Structure 1
Amino acid sequence: MIDYKVVRTFHPVGQGGFYSERHNNFNIVYDCGAIPVSNAKAVVQAAFSKVDDIDILFISHFDYDHVSAISTLQKAVRNIKQVVLPLLDEEHKNLLININRSLSQNIIKLISNPQSFFGKNTDIIYVRPENEEQDEVNNERFYDLREIPYYKDKESGRIEIDSGSKLSIGGHFRWVFVPYNYLNKVRSSQLINELSKANFNVSLLKDDSTYTLKNIATPAKRRALKQVYSRLDGNVNENSMLVYSGPERVNEDGSWCMCDECYDDCPLPRYCSRKVGCIYTGDCDLNKVDLSKVYSDFILNTGVIQIPHHGSKHNFLLNSFREFWPYILCPISFGTKNKHGHPAAHVINELSQHGFRPLLINENSDSEFVQKLQIMDKKAKKIQRTVGSF
């Protein structure tokens, strides 16, 4: 009988994000970091070993708490084959480099030159941004990840894909990953306004990635920049990449099934195999991103939605979930000692009162959430049961 197994884990790293999926001979990771990074190191080392490859590492954005343990992941595994990350424009990239240098966060090489950071044996795939002015998402582009090197631009050597493209690992059950790089101009404007009010030269911060080496070297200047960062609750990235991970489609005859006992007049055909998909949201702003529109093709397939930004009330809008069936599992990653009041009681209450199930994932090991999925071909199972009855 043909089947497909996935073990999906929301790891207990506290204030950060580290999520993984072990497929049939295939591993993915979405974000890998925490504040402090020590919370994540042991967890990452326990999750993988030197016999493992990470086939795809998805990076939602470049906040320290989402990428701080990537170096640990590199050392823990044999190889990271492909990295999918949001494409940044040059000005915003320079701004992030300058801010992270002033905050003494050692992720500058990752932001400035991902290829150099990961090495020549890793393919870097950049996802072009969509923005709030574009309602339609391109879900027509399809890439077989086994053939992704063929899509490199001959001049630049880069691989760029559109938001909403489907990345497939092939096989009988066509499982897809659908990244969506949302460009939040409002968030960018807030950062620029705060920097300007604090008397920083925003033009130079955006034009010269080395500006902070000489011009923000004093403790007073660094404190001022840290205060801006703190006021914005870490929301300095205008790009945030979401990813859907799940079946591309389920046939109308219900040919994929997870039940132990399948039968033709099953009363729950709509909510059976179609709920194994997951939407990872990073730190996106649900006031600006409508999940029901972005992932409209996968609503019936989705059973898990990660709540963004550690359950911050400023990034949450229940209406973004309006088309998703209730009882969706909603993991929230947060640190029990965080200074921002994450997760907000408002977020937990809204989810609970409307039939969704919040799952609180913190730095305590017993808060880990593991989801074991097994998808079976219903037609093959029916044939096996028929043959077994003779």
Structure 2
Amino acid sequence: MTEPLRIALAGLGTVGAGVVALLDANAELITRRAGRTIQVVAVSARDRFKDRGVDLSRFAWEDDTRLLAEREDVDVVVELVGGSDGPALALARAAFGRGKGLVTANKAMLAHHGLELAAAAEQAGAALKFEAAVAGGVPVIKGLREGAAANELRQVYGILNGTCNFILSKMETESRGFDDVLHEAQAAGFAEADPSFDIDGVDAGHKLAILASLAFGTAPTFAAVEMTGIRHLLAADIAEAAALGYRVRLLGLAESGVSGLFQRVHPYLVPLSHPLAHVTGPTNAVVAEGDFVGRLLFQGAGAGAGPTASAVVADLIDIARGVTGPPLAMPSDMLARADRADAGDRRGRAYLRFTVEDRVGVLAEIAAAMRDAGVSIESLIQRGSHAEGGVLVAIVTHEGPERCVAQALERLRGSQSLVGQPMWMHILD
């Protein structure tokens, strides 16, 4: 009889407990699909005595997570601790140092240290799997790494943060303000007490760096990801987008071209004809454009105990089957070190929103700044008074270089006519 795949589990939060529950509930099915049993032998977490809804008494306990990698009865370590450095990174390095495989849901660690860890796994002849790190239970990592492996991918983009999509969907359907919906998301468990990583685009940036590496054969470069979140979005922006035939979505977008690798997380106006406009709630969706396969759409639950645990166990099944290969789709020494593409060279249309003083000459000042920067205005709409004081001015530009829009906003910086911070959203055409 084939020996079981013996795993150690670090981190027993909702996902870690979900992994144990899933291995218990679907044990027979998993064994048949994997060709052998997958057996938890040891676990580690901060609180040994917390009730997690699953029986942990049958497993050995290690107070120090790094000791999981030292155990002779462990083949694969599952890291669900989180954090780009600290215990998670120490455990990953220890696992590869002992020749053991690693399964992780840790997008921050991979975005910052993915190249190092991929090289360490290859040198050790060990597996590094991370399906759960991007889009929860949606098999987008496998889809890019294996399903689209024969294609040259031109672009990868999508909704990578369920918290932001939940907030935007609520603002859209219920005409509510950002702060109000954020508080509801926190109460419902969709947002952390400190939501900065989500609403400022950092979480999506981590995921985008991983997707870009897989899609374009480049080393993960999180430091090159441009990030703008949804913190300053108004209900009026949602309403204006709807009036123009768009919905607002926070997108992560990456492209590889002759000028280098472009990676950006930013609010976009998405046309109603695009499938991403209809992705609502805490759902993730990723689009990849290939030269032979065309458009691929991956969509599903991006977080939660069940979907994320499903992705973790799917990786374990692959390892049990002996399905490994280079973690980042090609050997780490073949990954390109791409230059950072200049966003200013990109061409497109933009939505700009200003809150301004209600007085003569303000529109002329804005129009002059646009003119002097070479920005052509397609439409300009002025609305009535706003809660912040002043009136709202919304502009849609004709297609042009992003550098010109940035220059126009810089010309208006510090203007006594503006109340609050302007909002710049790109239009996905």
Taking structure 1 as the reference length, the TM-score comes to 0.28
Taking structure 2 as the reference length, the TM-score comes to 0.26
The higher radius of gyration belongs to: 2
Higher helix share: 2
